[in-house]
A and B are shown apart, each in its own frame.
Chain A
Amino acid sequence: DVKVTQSSRYLVKRTGEKVFLECVQDMDHENMFWYRQDPGLGLRLIYFSYDVKMKEKGDIPEGYSVSREKKERFSLILESASTNQTSMYLCASSLTPTSGYTFGSGTRLTVV
């Protein structure tokens, strides 16, 4: 089975800190995605990547950046964390556009 691993389950950071959320998949998937999940808002796409060093903005990219230097790793970066970025962050990968996503377990980030 494909595994998507997010480095931290829970994270607490201070306002203004630079935060790195790491995601690694082990099955050579081309596409990787970062979503955030908030009550009442569902899942919203932040960024996605369809190849190494290739990335595209999703629906809510403001305040975030990403890095994909290797195929298996897709990092989400909060340049200067703010309290409104407190959320559950979910990473996912897919082999093809029609193969469905495999999700990681999520990182619950609290910014204080």
Chain B
Amino acid sequence: SQQGEEDPQALSIQEGENATMNCSYKTSINNLQWYRQNSGRGLVHLILIRSNEREKHSGRLRVTLDTSKKSSSLLITASRAADTASYFCATDRAGGTSYGKLTFGQGTILTVHP
């Protein structure tokens, strides 16, 4: 099964609304990262949260991490049509020498309607 699993698989909202995506994982982690992918392109790094952090902000993005529940959420506030993309969580598993090797979830497809 996937280390990172996003929920929901797809989300459709109107411009100006907030979008919340969730990610669950199974093993202990060093950090959790969120990425964005526009249609058919490479992924872009959005934000990284370490295992000892609970919340992090970057512009209109807010990420929370609950290590006791092994879950994270990404909130995009005041969404714009340009936020339409797929969003992936990725985990750097704790233990051993990982070299920052990431395991990705299957992603949430966000559609923001103008």
Contact = CB atoms under 8 A, between A and B. Distances in A.
Interface of A: 4, 31, 33, 35, 40-45, 48, 50, 56, 58, 88, 90, 92, 94, 96-106, 108
Interface string B70-96: 000000000000000000101010000
A100 B2 contact: no
A4 B43 CA distance: 11
Interface of B: 2, 30-31, 33, 35, 40-45, 48, 50, 88, 90, 92, 98-107
Chain B CB within 10 Å, residue with most, of A97, A104, A105:
A97
Contact of B44 (A43, A88, A97, A103): A103
Contacts, number: 66
Given A48-B99, A103-B44, A104-B42, A98 B104 contact: no
Contacts of B100: 31, 94, 96-99
A20 B88 CA distance: 27
User: Dominant SS at the A interface?
Assistant: strand
